[in-house]
Amino acid sequence: MLELDLAITSRLAGVITLGLGGVGPSAAFVFDPHRLALPCWALANGSSSTGALLLSLDRHFDLVPPKAKTPRGLSVLELDELARRTLDVRNYDHVLAALDAGVLSDVIAIARTSPVGCFEGPLWREQHQLVRARTVDALCVDFSTTRASPEARQAFALISRAERIILDVDLDCFTSSSDADPTTVLPWPQQVIREFLLPRGSDAFWNAVLPKCVALTLAREPNHCGGLVAGGKLFEALATVLFSELLHTDPP
C-alpha cells in the first residue's frame, strides 16, 4: 500500500488525493493540468531508485521533448515547482521530463494523435522504451499466437518485468472532435468509454497490470473536454467505468 506524506501532499496545490480500496492502486491523484502528474508520479514511486512503468491513456501522445533536461534527484516539491513554472503549458512534455528525472523507467502510451514536435522514436535517450498504441484493445491479444503485434509483445514484456506501474488517464482521451466543427469537442457516452477501457478479451491485460499498479493519476483538463460542466459530466461517466468496474472501488 502506498503511504503518502501529508506534509508533502498538502502543499501540492490543485491536487486532490484519494485513497482507494478494491484491486489495483491504493491511491489516486486528481488534478487539472496534466503536467501536475510529474510530482504525483514521484510520490507514487516513493524512495525507489528505479523508475516506474507508466501506462498512459490520453487523446494525445504527450511525448514532446522538454526544452531542458530535467535533472535527477529533485524532491517532490522541486518537481512540482518545475511542472508549474518550467514545463510546457500545453501539457505535452511532462512524460519525457519524468523519464529524465528517473521517476519513470519506460512508457506505454495509448493515444490517437501526435502534437507538433512529438518524439517518434522507440527509445528516449537510448535507454527508455516507448510503446505506442491507439487503443487498449490493440494490446489485448493472445501472446501465444502470431496475431500479437510487435507493440503488443513489447508492452507485455514491459508489464511482465515491471516492479511498479502507474496508471495515468487524461479525461480528454474520451472525447472526439466534431466532424461538423473540429473546434467542438464531443464527450463519449458511458458505453463507448466502457468499450474502450474494457474491450472484450481485456481481462488478461488488466490482470497483469493492476496487481503492480501503485497509483492512478487522472487529469481533468476541462478546457479540452468541452468546458467545466461538460467535463464534469464526462468525469462522472468515466468514474463509473474506471473506479467501479475496473478498479472495483467506490467512485470519488
* Sequence-distant (≥ 6) Cβ neighbours of residue 202 within 8 angstroms: 136, 137, 140
Q: Could you tell me where the DSSP H helices lie in the chain?
A: 6-9, 37-45, 76-85, 94-100, 150-161, 190-197, 203-209, 228-239
How many CB atoms are closer than 10 A to CB 187? 21
Pick the CATH number of 15-246 from 2.40.128, 3.40.1360, 3.40.800, 3.40.50: 3.40.800
Residues 89, 111 contacting (CB under 8 angstroms): no
User: Cell digits for 112?
Assistant: 490517437
Going residue by residue through the chain (252 aa), what tens digit of pLDDT does each one get?
Answer: 677 777 888 899 999 999 998 889 999 999 999 999 999 999 999 877 789 999 999 999 999 999 999 999 999 999 999 999 999 999 999 999 999 999 999 999 999 999 999 999 999 999 999 999 999 999 987 654 556 788 888 999 999 999 999 999 999 999 998 777 777 889 999 999 999 999 998 999 999 999 999 999 999 999 988 899 999 999 999 999 999 999 999 988
DSSP per residue over 212-242, as a string?
A: GEEEEEEE--GGGTTSHHHHHHHHHHHHIII
pTM of the full predicted structure? 0.94
Residues 129, 150 contacting (CB under 8 angstroms): no
What phi-psi label fits residue 23: left (phi over 0), alpha (psi between -120 and 50 degrees) or beta? beta
CA distances from 28 to 3, 32, 91, 121, 151 (A): 12, 14, 19, 30, 27
